[in-house]
Structures are given as structure tokens and as C-alpha cells.
Structure 1
């Protein structure tokens, strides 16, 4: 297993750099880093600013902590590969104050109440002498600087410590208080609960002279000023705090082991941060302020640790820790890492509920904005709903099929048509069959070659299978119904205005009576397509000459409708003429005489503009 920490200096700017701009998604970027647990600092975004693929990568469980007040500032994130491990518990902040809704129960908390910094400092497990006032624990957890995840074998703390800032007393106190609370949180886990702890992140401090590019210069300057040994380097409080928190070379000191420096004790220029404004990375003129600190009990699991200065995209570089897949304890028993983590391959448990996958906007509880603008997706319907009411001729004594499919809107019954070779079979069908069989689209049948099928429109009535009284569709009936349909459409087009004409803006609007508008869609009409019966081919034969006459008649009617009206053309011409006519010169306000028009000829912004002055 590999644990990686990286200050990415903005999750939205990282994909703009090579090679990250060659990946199609944030999930691919996480995969390219080749780690199982990834801890990021300086996310510089908010919950609303995250995209879905960044907040919920498919291959990872993600946890975020954002600043409460400052948007686009600070922020940390921890991504855990779903096939490698699942955290047992997770919390935001160091003091347990930030709670989800509903708040954590006692079983969901990582520690007992007495192991949190408030009680640890109050009970004397940490130096509680605060000359400048009490600690504001809520304020210390409000900048989105810490995520705490419990993996069973260890507790992982992803932290982004405050930097030197603007050097004000307020920020200096905030930074010192934050370090005090961080140390108290670790002491509570180690001393009161006997847990193993891994602290990763940007601590914004150097732990040794070798970790700073100007460390030797600071020491030399201190010696010149009369200071002893390396006191010139340890002038800052944050460096002294970090040195006291770590295990010294002789085994004394604090509980945390700088595992990267322990594996590379004499390595120089092992820097993780550079000033990009002066292109200091090219010359490796930087500092080491990104760390992976572990407690002593995890040393047998350590396989390797190093920095990755070749990984670009930020002013920091990643630092990683590799753990063995299995170890042999003092009794000779083999302990597998996945067993120690409580991870079940193939059947992983759900992550803690502060994971981003349980956020309302990604868990299906809250609708996305794009759903209000996307196309409406409706389930397939077995019925057929006509878009407009259809005027049809009804047979006086036509039978109605018993098998009908009810449409979703409107009472339209459509019988299932069958092919010509199945005309002799019984056309009756039960309601169950009608609900299970797909309803085909009604088709107008033409005679192309060979025998044709007939289409019969019948009114609702009792079921009957006798076709003796059925009226057959002939060429004259088709011609007459088509003419009526065309005339009706022509009248509707004349009643319904299309594009507004220019002349309508200069004429008095006509009175319209809204009560005359009728909606034929409210009237429900039964429409039934019957199965064609066996009829004489001579009767159903459509006369081609009648079709030709009908086509010529319709063509002449459409040509007449396209001819513009003489009155409308004259009105439009007059309207355009009045609209485009040159502006008449106004009268002088003093003399009441027409003014004269002049044009500005002087070079400048008003050149070419026209104006009117008195003619006198």
C-alpha cells in the first residue's frame, strides 16, 4: 500500500499543467499518481465549486474539508482507493466540533471525548499555559485544514498547517494555537487510546538545517551575531515546535518519526517546495516542509519512503510512504496488511457518511440543475395518442373489435392489424393479450402491387364479426374526404396568423373575441382501426385517373393561396415607404420656420453626424 501526500496548490489549476492536461478526468489523474491513499492540501475550492467527477471519482472514496468562511482558500481532501482500503471512521477537524447532520453518535466518533484536544489540554496532558487567552477551538477548525480517518491499524491525519502569513500577531497566535491543538490530538490518540498515528501534509516548517536551502547561511549569520551552534536557524518558534515533536537521533523527544529523513539521513537538497516566482525549482533552491510522520509502532510496516520532485503541477512535490503487504511479528505469525486494516476484498463495507458519495447532490436526494433543462424522458406507452383530433367518416354499421389498447391521454382504441395472410383467423383478443402485446403504429395502406388492405373507421358500438354491412373505401370517398380535409386546413390557416406583418404595427388592431376559440382536443372521440376483411379486389381498386385529378386540384389550390393580396401589398409598401423616408426638418422653436440640416465636417468623434439649426 502506498500513502501519498501532496500540496497541489488548487484542484482547479492542476489539470492545466502537463501531464495532467492529457487525462480525460480527475479519476485518471488519481490513477496516474499510483497511490492507494492520496492526501491533498490547498484544494482552494468550495463544495459548490467541485465538479461531479472531482467530488465523486468512480474508483475512490473521497473526503473533503472546506473553510467555513473563506471560499477558495485552504482546504484538504483524502481519496481512498475502493479496492485497497475503506476507512472505518472519519472526522473533519481536530476537535470534533464540526459535525454532519445528524451529528455523530458515540460509535461514529474516532475517539472518546477525553481524548480530544479540549480535554487533553484541560486535564494537563498538554501545556495549558496560555498567556494570551483561551483557545478558540471552533475557529481553529473553521479553515478546513484537517481530515482525520481511522483505518483500524492506524489513524491518518491529513493536515495543512498555517504558514507565516502576513506576520501579524493575530496570525502568529493562530498558528501557535493550531500546532498546540494538533499535538494534543496526537497525544490523546497515542497516550490515552494506545493508537498508532500517521500525520501527513504540509506542516509549513523545516525540521532541520539540512531541510532549508539557506540553512547554513542562517547558522553562519547567527554565529556572526554571537549565537551558539545552530541557534541562528532555530530562531522561529515553529521550527522549535516541530523539532520537539519528533523523535531525536538519540531516541528522545516527541512521539513522531520523520520516516523520510530516517530512511535518507544524509541526503542533501531533499526539498519539497520551491518559489516558482523566481524559477527556483530548476536549480532546486527550496525547502522541505511536506512530511510523513508516523509513530514507532508502525516502523515494522514501513517498506519505503521518498519524495517525487519530478512530478510537476504545483509549487510542491508529492511525498509517499510504502507499507508491506504482510509482516512477521515477534512470535513468527504472519500478519497481512488487509487483515490489519479490516478490509474485505470483493465485499468492502460502506465508507463513513461524511464521504462525498453521500452528499445530497450526488446521492440522488437532490436533483441536478441540468435535469430541469434536459429533454423529458417518458416511459414507453402501449397506447397511441394523436397529437391533434382527427375528423373521420364513420361507418354506420361497422363492427368494433373487442381487442383495444387504451391510450394514456384521450379515449382512442386501436385494434392490432394483421397481415393479409392472417385475415381468416379470429380477430378477438383478451385484455391481457392487449396489455402484453406491443401496439403497432397505424398505417395508411397503399396499393403498390398485388392485393391491398383496406382501412375501416368505425364508431364505438357492440362487438360484431359480420362484415356484411361495412361500407367500403372507394376512390370517390377518398377524394371527397381529402378535399374536406384540405379545405378545413385552409380555413384554420386563414384564422391563425403566422408571422406578424409590418403593416400591423401601423394599423388599428382588430377586435378579437376569445370566446370564439374552441379546443377540439377536449372532445373525446373513439377511433378504431379494424382488421381488414376479405373483399373483392375490383371494388377496392383505386382509379389512377381520379388520383391525378385530385392532385391537380390540390396543386392549383395551393398556388392560389400563395398569391399575395393586392391590398396587403399596397399597405406594406406604404408602411415601408413611411418608415424609410428621410426625416423632415423640424421647425425652429423661436421663429416657427423649418430649420436647415448641416453635417459636421471637422475631424473628431462627431464627424459625419447631422444636426438642425435655424435657417436664419
Structure 2
């Protein structure tokens, strides 16, 4: 099965910049998007054969997530933990027979780190939620996670130490999650790859010079690692300041869910 995740930075704008061409080219089983920046009724996307699940932020033109999938889930849930976070439309969870798919748009700590404390509480709540799900069946967790975990995940690590998305605290929360039984699928396949980024500033020629950050991920339960078929970053796809990331899994071979 093919999974794609993309922060589209406004789905209405991205639709005008080739979103559907890319979508139909890839024909994924699951397409997760973040930062939809719209409310129900503001956009309609005709995707025959796909179920659509949207989680809109209450604030217009802000945040929001969606999942388009060929596979009808057993259950769907929106948000987790803090009620204020749920108002921002940041989480969708789909349950299937052998796994959960969790699509997330992680809060940004802000340039002045004004939202760092809030962000860390979010990370703690989300980790507890993912561990709870993982206790039932494996988890595929994806989205714009707004953190470059390692120094090789951004072009200029020394100049960005302590900046939003590269603070010791944010990176530490990612490490803690991975140490809780999860795997960064891209790093599983490419443990030492450099210059592979998923986000670039809109500043002049930054993307052309590949001065970027890898902040979009597929994080999976450790016991799914052996079923990874492919992990990739589609850096050539424009339409947003982020690019899509891909994960292909041998789902038919995946372990059975836990029954305890």
C-alpha cells in the first residue's frame, strides 16, 4: 500500500498549482494533507473511489487536516487531549483491521518560542495517545511534525540551534517518542542521507539552493519496520513550501493486531 503525506499550505491554493495532477499520478491508497486552511463547504475535491475525512480548524484560513483513502476505515476519530488543540483541527485517526493511521499537523513553537511550552505539552499528550494505540495494533503516524530531529535533517544546523523546530526540547521529544517503540521510516531506509529536505522558506532562491529542513515524516511502530517497501521524499513537487513524503508498506504481510 502507498501512503503520501503533504503539508499543502492551503488546499485551495495548492489545487491551482498541480495538486490533482500529482494525486492522480501517484494514485495512493492513503493521501494525508496538513494545513488545509479551509472550512467545510469552502472547497470540493472530486476524487472518485476515495473516502474523504476532514478536520477543520475553527479559525478560518488556519491549520486543518484531511485524509483521502481508497479504504473505508473501521472507525474515525478527530483530535486528542487538550480541547484547544482540537479546535485547531490537527489530528485525524483512521482505524483498520491491522493498523491505525494518524495524520497530524504539529503546532509550531513560533519564531520567539512563545508557544514552546504549549508545544511540549502537545508532544507529551500525543506520545501517550500513540502508545495507547500501539498497545492495540501497529501505528502509522505521519504529517508535518515541525521538528528537524537530527543535524542532518536541516542545511544549517549550527546556525539554527535553539530556533523553533530545532530546540533541544523539541528534538528531545522526538527522541523520546522513537525510544518508545517507534521508527522514523525514512531514516530506517536512509540512515545517513543528507540534503533530503521537505520544507524550504519562501525567501529568494532558498529552494533552488536546497537550503531546507526535513520536518515531514512517516513514523511507524517498530514492529512494522520490516514491512517497509519504500520511503521517499518528492522534492521536485511544487505547489507548497513543503513537498510530499511517501511510504510504501507490504501491508498484506503485516503482523496481526494484538489481542491482549
Q: TM-score, normalised by structure 2?
A: 0.90
Tell me: CA distance 1:57–1:236, structure 2 relative to 1, closer, same or farther (3 Å): same
Taking the aligned partners of 1:235 and 1:284, their CA distance within structure 2 comes to: 22
> Is the contact made by 1:6 and 1:316 (CA closer than 8 Å) also made in structure 2?
yes
1:153-211 CA-partner distances (Å, limit 9, x unpaired): 11111000011225364x223212211111110121223xx321111000000110100
Alignment of 1:192-231 (within 5 A): 194-217=136-159
Q: Does 1:63 align with 2:5?
A: no
Instruction: Indicate the RMSD between aligned Cα atoms, in angstroms.
Output: 2.3
Mapped pair 1:80 → 2:78: no
Q: For the structure 1 residues 328 and 265, does the alpha-carbon distance in structure 2 shift closer, same or farther, using more than 3 Å as the test? A: closer
CA contact (8 A) 1:256 1:293 kept: yes
Q: Aligned ranges for residues 420-431 of structure 1 at < 5 Å?
A: none
Q: Aligned pair 1:315/2:244, yes or no?
A: no
Aligned position for 2:98: 153
TM-score, length basis structure 1:
0.39
How far off its partner does 1:299 sit?
A: 2.0
CA distance change for structure 1 residues 312 and 237 in 2, over 3 Å: closer, same or farther?
same
CA contact (8 A) 1:201 1:291 kept: yes
Aligned to 1:243: 175
Distance 2:132 2:103 in 1: 17
- Could you list the runs of 5+ residues in structure 2 that have no partner in the other structure? none
Describe the shift of the 1:325–1:254 C-alpha distance in structure 2 as closer, same or farther (beyond 3 A). closer
Q: 2:108 aligns with which of 163, 166, 169?
A: 163
User: Which secondary structure does the structure 2 equivalent of 1:175 belong to?
Assistant: helix
Q: Greater CA radius of gyration, 1 or 2?
A: 1
Q: Secondary structure at the match of 1:87?
A: coil
- Alpha-carbon separation, structure 2, partners of 1:284 and 1:234: 18
Among 275, 286, 301, the alignment partner of 2:212 is: 286
Whether the 8 Å CA contact 1:45–1:73 is kept in 2: the answer is: yes
In the alignment, the residues of structure 1 paired with residue 237 and residue 105 of structure 2 have an alpha-carbon distance, to the nearest angstrom, of 20
Q: 1:235 to 1:65 in 2, by over 3 A?
A: closer
Looking at secondary structure, tell me which structure has more strand per residue: 2
Residues 201 and 296 (structure 1 numbering): CA distance in 2 closer, same or farther, change over 3 Å?
same
Q: Within 5 Å, give how 1:488-503 maps onto structure 2.
A: none
- Correspondence for 1:13: 13
Q: Tell me, yes or no, if structure 1 residue 49 matches structure 2 residue 35.
A: no
Q: Distance in 1 between matches of 2:218 and 2:228?
A: 12
Q: Deviations over 1:116-163 (max 9, x none)?
A: xxxxxxxxxxxxxxxxxxxxx211211000001001211111000011
Q: How does 1:210-609 map to 2 (within 5 A)?
A: 210-217=152-159, 235-246=167-178, 253-324=179-250, 326-327=252-253
Paired residues, what number?
A: 255
> Is the partner of 2:253 in helix, strand or coil?
strand
Q: What SS is found at the alignment partner of 2:92?
A: strand
Inter-partner Cα distance in structure 2 for 1:243 and 1:328: 25
> What SS does structure 1 have at the residue aligned with 2:63?
coil
- Mapped contact 2:98–2:254 kept (Cα < 8 A): no
Counterpart-to-counterpart distance in 1, 2:40 and 2:53: 11
Q: Which runs of 5 or more structure 1 residues have no equivalent in the other structure?
A: 21-25, 96-136, 223-232, 247-252, 330-334, 341-616
Question: C-alpha displacement at 1:217, in angstroms?
Answer: 4.7
Contact 1:88–1:152 under 8 Å retained in 2? yes
Name the CA shift for 1:241/1:65 in 2 (closer, same or farther; >3 Å): same
Distance, in Å, in 2 between the alignment partners of 1:293 and 1:324 is 16
Q: Structure 1 residues 327 and 187 mapped into 2: Cα distance closer, same or farther (>3 Å)? A: closer
| Separation in 2, partners of 1:149, 1:155 | 6
- Cα deviation for residue 298 of structure 1 reads 1.4
- Give the C-alpha shift of residue 29 in structure 1: 5.2
Shift of 1:76: 0.3
SS at the partner of 2:98?
coil
Question: Are the aligned partners of 2:8 and 2:242 in contact in 1 as well (CA < 8 Å)?
Answer: yes
Note if 1:93 corresponds to 2:79: yes
Q: Which has the higher contact order (CA 8 A, sep 6+)?
A: 2
